[in-house]
Amino acid sequence: MCLKMTGKVYLIGAGPSSDLITQRGLDIISKADVVVHDRLIDKKILDKARKDAEIIDAGKKADKHKLKQHEIEEILVDRGKKGKTVARVKGGDSFLFGRGGEEMLSLRNANLKYEIIPGVTTAISVPARFGVPVTHRNVSSSLAIVTGHEDPNKKESTIKWDQISHAETIVVLMGVGNLPKIVKKILKVKDPETPVASFQNAYTKKERVIHGKLKNITKIAEKQSLKPPAVTVIGNVVKLGEFWKNNQQNQQK
């Protein structure tokens, strides 16, 4: 009698750096037969994998994808059905604009065992890196997290910017390319003087802050060559960052 072997797939959020991945995530990566990882993870995490583990780079950059999403899901299902322990590793949290939900459904439809291991989301950890809390008792009691890069196959956007713009803090992920369009939509509701900051390459040696106000952030971002990956925060909480305080002091000198 031949027993059918099935493995288990772990959808792991790796956070924004190797220092912020959960212990549970590291434990699974160190034991996995297969590690399927995205482009933006801290590559130091891969040092924790077994020397004999199969490492699959599934990184995506704009329209340049090493593997299409359906191919990634096929790999996860294939290795799982072969009895492998699979670590699917994504930067930040895979359930926040990380397509983790799609991968989970593929595994579920294939009747494979899976486990979700949440990660520290960049939507909160990146602003925090620069001293910006996305909420603050005296400044902001509401938060909206929105993607700046919707599914290109959508006939039209499903983001209700007129509603989102009323949140006291707006965090935009993957929004560098569409920043001018996003700012234009938010300006229909928010004050042009509203502070804005984009945090580029956070938790790396190339990290930097580009900041201004809604009325001029597009020009500033263009002049300073803002590039992805970046997290953009819109709202008065931006003024709590040390970089904002220093900027204001320099302007007064």
Q: Which residues are catalytic?
A: 38, 60, 174
Write phi, then psi, for 206 (nearest 5 degrees). -100, 10
Whether residue 217 contacts residue 170, with contact meaning beta carbons closer than 8 Å, is answered with: no
Residues in a beta bridge with 196 = 212, 234
DSSP the chain: -PPPP--EEEEEE-BSSTTSS-HHHHHHHHH-SEEEE-TTS-GGGGGGS-TTSEEEE--EETTEESS-HHHHHHHHHHHHHTT-EEEEEESB-TTTTSSHHHHHHHHHHTT-EEEEE----HHHHHHHHTT--S-BTTTBS-EEEEESS--TT-SS----HHHHTTSSEEEEES-STTHHHHHHHHTTTS-TT-EEEEEESTTSTT-EEEEEETTTHHHHHHHTT--SSEEEEESGGGGGSHHHHHHHHHHH-
